[in-house]
């Protein structure tokens, strides 16, 4: 909280010095996201032989069936270099195919190959099972509140 906001709100400014990192929402979100991502990466690697960036791209492409390559950075929350490297690795493994766009040869449409689609169809139930084991500690109401709260935070971030 800003010093002047605290002063105007009647909050004792000395209280601002007390900062509990574990109660700081950005920290809690990053910590949770990184742990989830790391644990899932173990699953991707051990059971399916792919990397975290490759899974994120397979999920994004599989969900939409075809994606313009330049859109994948936003869809996967990865930088363009990481996306490019992962796409190259996936192409080398025969998981994707890039087709130049007729109206813009610099752009490519990315889709899963038969092998990529097969991998996607095997992985989705497995990651959903993993998700279920993670969230089974939440009641149905807590789950709805969590999803709703995260959606509201994402919307708020888009507005900021």
Q: First CA to last CA across the chain, in angstroms?
A: 17
Q: Cα–Cα distance between 140 and 125 in angstroms, integer? A: 20
Residues 65-108 have pLDDT tens digits of 788 888 888 888 888 899 999 999 999 999 999 988 888 777 78
Residue 32: domain span: 3-159
pLDDT at 104: 76
CATH number at residue 137: 1.10.10.10
- Count of structural domains, the chain: 1
Outline where DSSP puts E strands in 1-131.
66-68, 96-101, 104-112
Name which of 53, 144, 59, 67 is nearest 107 in CA terms.
67
- Residue 40: both structure tokens together: 């899932």
Is 1's pLDDT higher than 80?
no
Instruction: List residues bridging with 104 in a β-sheet.
Output: 101
Residues 2-48 have pLDDT tens digits of 555 554 565 665 665 667 778 888 899 999 999 999 999 999 899 99
């Amino acid at each position: 909280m800003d010093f002047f906001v605290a002063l105007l709100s009647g909050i004792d400014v000395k209280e601002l010095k007390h900062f509990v990192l574990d109660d700081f929402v950005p920290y809690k979100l990053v910590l949770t996201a990184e742990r989830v991502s790391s644990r899932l990466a173990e699953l991707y690697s051990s059971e399916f032989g792919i990397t975290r960036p490759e899974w994120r791209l397979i999920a994004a492409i599989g969900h939409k069936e075809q994606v313009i390559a330049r859109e994948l950075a936003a869809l996967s929350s990865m930088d363009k270099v990481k996306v490019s490297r992962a796409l190259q690795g996936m192409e080398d493994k025969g998981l994707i195919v890039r087709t130049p766009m007729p109206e813009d040869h610099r752009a490519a449409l990315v889709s899963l190959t038969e092998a990529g689609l097969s991998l996607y169809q095997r992985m989705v139930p497995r990651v959903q099972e993993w998700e279920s084991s993670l969230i089974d500690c939440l009641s149905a109401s807590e789950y709805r509140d969590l999803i709703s709260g995260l959606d509201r935070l994402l919307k708020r971030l888009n507005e900021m």
